[in-house]
Amino acid sequence: MKSPTLLAIISLGTIILIDLVQIIMSFFDFYSMNLFRLFGILNLIAFMGLLPFFVTLYNKQKG
């Protein structure tokens, strides 16, 4: 469970960092559609990093 938990912590930190950068960039006129797509892809990858944690947790509760 240590490995999925570490991956989940890193993924959650990445999601928070991406959202923080997006909020900061929204105050400036630097934000573009390409950056929006890039942050969307990075956000999706980070959320996929949370999946192993919940699958492992589910399997431990199930069995």
The band of 30, judged by pLDDT with boundaries at 50, 70 and 90, is confident
Tokens in use for 16? Answer: 């928070």
Q: What is the dihedral of CA 49, 10, 46, 58, to 10 degrees?
A: 30
CB 6 within 8 A of CB 52: no
* 53, 6 Cβ separation under 8 angstroms: no
pLDDT at 1 (0 to 100)? 67
pTM value > 0.75: yes
Residue 15 · residue 43 · CB < 8 Å: yes
Average pLDDT value for residue range 53-61: 94
Q: Is the dihedral of CA 52, 57, 60, 61 positive or negative?
A: negative
